[in-house]
Structure 1
Amino acid sequence: MTSHRRRPLLRSRSSAAPPLDDDDLLSEILLRLPPLPSSLPRASAVCKRWRCLAYNPAFSRRFRLHHRRNPPLLGYFRAGIPKLCFQPTMAAPNRVPPGRLSLKFNSYVRVLGRRHGLVLILEWPQLLVCDPVTGHQHRLAYPPEFDPDNSLINGAVLRSAAGAGDVHFQVVLVGSDYEKKLLACVYSSETGVWGTLISTPIPSGNSLCTRVCWEHAVLVGDSLYWILAGRFTVMRAEGGGLGLLSVSGFTAQIWKRKTDFDGVTSWGMGATVELDKRLSMDSEDYLDIEGYAEDNNLVFLWTGRSLFTVKLEPLQCNKLFDTNNRACYYPFEAVYATGT
């Protein structure tokens, strides 16, 4: 009897490891999930391997960085003593627990700006950069040229360039010494120092420049814009570029800055919205702009009786709650996973 050796079977292409067994490929798939608070927790429920990957610190940083330009509006901060209370606006399962992102302080603080998941806070006599999601805080001393006792001060915060990951940030501080001159200075967490001070005199009799110290900045492209006066707010126009939202009576108008072939700029009006028909307003109501979420192109509007959010393009209106009291509302946009 002759014995026949069985030749080893060659593994065919069809029997290769399933794509989801490749950690690198799986991470690329998970990376492209919507940046909603429930996305990664839901994916982590599939199995232990997916859970380990979804909650890996390195992957979490990649996920936040990948979605930096399109974070959801998690809610808003409301000023109080002795803390900034966070109020969520998303519905379950994406609703963030109110106490999870609230910030506590020992005294009254003023919010100067929010961007890229960071909050810039004036806690006299210093500045504080907070990341409510991670809990990290960074304290800064004023540049020596800024005198908190004799200057009107405002500022903005933003993450550094994408190549630097989500670790480093910049603080842009602006101010005016009571109608004499305007000041500006930039801090980089990468170098740990303030840059060169920029100073320009305020034209005689021009009091509008001091308003820059009360309005929040809007980042459009590579520039920060502050409103000096008027019942309107800077916004990002549809398709990019600089826009304005103005409110007159119950009517909102959206304007966009245009540049012709000769480099001459002008303003052109886009949409006009009759908000009283959409917000169920009475004749005694009025409209005030209370905040702007730049990544979601959404404004907070107070009617004197209720607080609404209005997404500008496409137009969507949502009532948050009834209130007769005016307050400071600071929209907060960030990438956050529930359960972290």
Structure 2
Amino acid sequence: MARRRSTGLRSQNHASEYGSGVARRRSPRLHPQIQPSEEGAGVTPRRSPRLHPQNRATEEGAGMARRIRRRRGTSPAEPATASLPDDDDMLREILTRLPPEPSSLPRASAVCRRWRGLVTDPKFHRQFLAHHRKPPHLGVILWFRNQGIVFNPILDPPDRIPPARVSLGRYSSRGGDCTLLDCRHGLLLISDWARHEVVVCDPIAGEQRCVAVPSGMRIGYLKGAVLCAAGDHGHVHGSRCFSSCKLVLLSGGRRDTPCLACVYTLETGLWGNLVSTEAPCYIFDGAPETLAVPATLVGDCLYWLVGCGILEFDFDKQNLAVSMGPPCPDSMIYGNHQIIQAADGVVGYAALSYPRLEMWQRNIDCHGIATWAPWKTVELDTILQLPYLHLGKGVQLLGYDGDDAVFLWHASSVYLVQLKPMQARKLNGISSPIMTRYHLFKSFFTPGTAIAGGFNAAELSHIG
């Protein structure tokens, strides 16, 4: 007896008997996706809502999803691929990372007009300075009684800046009636005796501000300090900070009179109240060169050497006091002493006594009593790249850079000695007598800055 076949199989064979031109019919439940092809290509396929519920959500619920997102306060989904930054933004980020040496930006400005427009933009200058923070050492500033104030570059070509491009105005050739009091944060403070005024000078920008000395402080010799007092995050000292600049002047006359101090703020154009020491203090010991010894800034206080003592001015307390230094040997002359910053930001003291440099640090106990303790001793013969000093003849401590280096003079040569790595560097092209003080000049040198009579960016590209 022949086996009965299922209806589904018989229908398939039945369709094959009529020829291949007749379309086969298949079960709509098994093959719903083929049904539209039987009725025509122009008909939109119908899909089972039970098999594809996500399509229904897409077609019917898109508007509802957008309304829910808006109601919850969320933003639409971000695209899978984030858009790239603007070409100028990418180029600005690259140029920001150029070295802070003087030749970097001027040479970049000479590449094309587009680059020049970016590196001369004040917004880019602020970004460049904030990225590097510490300005480079451009040179040293010296004062001579017969030559005036002189700038000596210390960088090698192509970063070496000619002295003519650092503008000191009329004080470049005046020596007898002016004194360099301080050099800090890219600014100079000059005392003009003949005019009874002090001058704040920005040598890179070629700008100067004259300030009349108060009549109550014209009774004796002057010392002073200039500093940028801006404390906001991201501020870089030396970036044309006249608005945040403050001056501190000291005046001392006879040995039996107290020393006076006064603060001037350039932003307001006003002098503060006069502050005096309790005991008499004489800031001049008979050598004119000692008046040019600059102050050392440690924290919020300024410190000056006065004979064997230290004169301290506290900005926060507006207090002026005299204290004693460490017990240095009597054989050390005044010029070989220097106030420095010791470890952990405390006040330090350095004294040169060949063949070593001895250093102390000041400690203050809970009762406010200050004591001096030996910090470290450096044998000069162990400092790298410092030549052998024959019996200490002609060795002189000439200054402090305000960070971690001192200036030493020996055999008509000047060396910048780093105290932390214990290395020395000879400053080429500088040869001067012993009796002067060295001020390390730190500042950024950016194109488009008007210096020495208005040099433009194209001319600045030929530095060195």
With the length of structure 2 as denominator, give the TM-score of the two structures. Answer: 0.62
Quote the residue 2:139 is aligned against. 75
| CA radius of gyration, larger in | 2
* Structure 1 equivalent of residue 441 of structure 2: 332
Q: What's 1:13 paired with?
A: 81
Say whether residues 1:167 and 2:242 are aligned partners: yes
SS of 2:227's partner is: strand
Task: Please name the residue that 1:178 is paired with.
Answer: 254
| One-letter amino acid matched to 1:86 | F
User: Using a 3 Å threshold, how does the CA distance of structure 1 residues 37 and 268 change in structure 2: closer, same or farther?
Assistant: farther
- Distance in structure 2 (CA, Å) of the matches to 1:216 and 1:107: 19
After superposition, give the CA deviation of every residue in 1:64-121 in whole Å (9 maximum; x if it has no partner).
46656x2222111233455422111112232222221152436322100011100000
- State the 1:46 CA deviation: 6.2
One-letter amino acid matched to 1:136: E
CA distance in 1 between partners of 2:220 and 2:339 (Å)? 24
Per the alignment, residue 349 of structure 2 pairs with 244
Structure with a larger share of its residues in helix = 2
Structure 1 residue runs without a partner (length 5+)? 3-9
1:200 CA drift (Å): 2.8
Number of residue-to-residue matches in the alignment: 323
Corresponding residue SS for 1:181: coil
Residue 97 of structure 1: which of 134, 153, 162 is its match? 162
1:287 aligned residue: 395
* 1:274 CA displacement: 1.6
Q: Gapped runs of 5+ residues in structure 2? A: 1-40, 43-77, 308-333, 448-459
Residue in structure 2 matched with residue 5 of structure 1 by the alignment: none
Question: One-letter code of the match for 2:399?
Answer: G
Identity of aligned residues (%): 38
Displacement after TM superposition at 1:182 (Å): 0.6
Task: Say which structure is richer in strand.
Answer: 1
For the aligned residue pairs, the C-alpha RMSD in angstroms reads 3.2
Match of 1:107 in 2: 174
2:410 to 288, 291, 303: 303
Return closer, same or farther for 1:323/1:48 CA change in 2, 3 Å cut-off: closer
Q: Distance in 1 between matches of 2:294 and 2:184?
A: 11
Say yes or no: does 1:196 pair with 2:273: yes
1:256: Cα distance to partner? Answer: 2.4
Q: How far apart are the structure 2 equivalents of 1:284 and 1:247?
A: 10
1:12-161 to 2 correspondences below 5 Å: 13=81, 16-17=83-84, 19=85, 21=87, 23=89, 27=92, 30-31=95-96, 33-41=98-106, 43-44=108-109, 48-61=113-126, 63-64=128-129, 70-80=134-144, 81=146, 83-103=148-168, 104-105=170-171, 107-108=174-175, 109-124=178-193, 125=195, 126-147=197-218, 150-161=219-230
1:218 aligns with 2:296: yes
Q: Which residue of 1 aligns with 2:331?
A: none
1:256 maps onto 2:376 in alignment: no
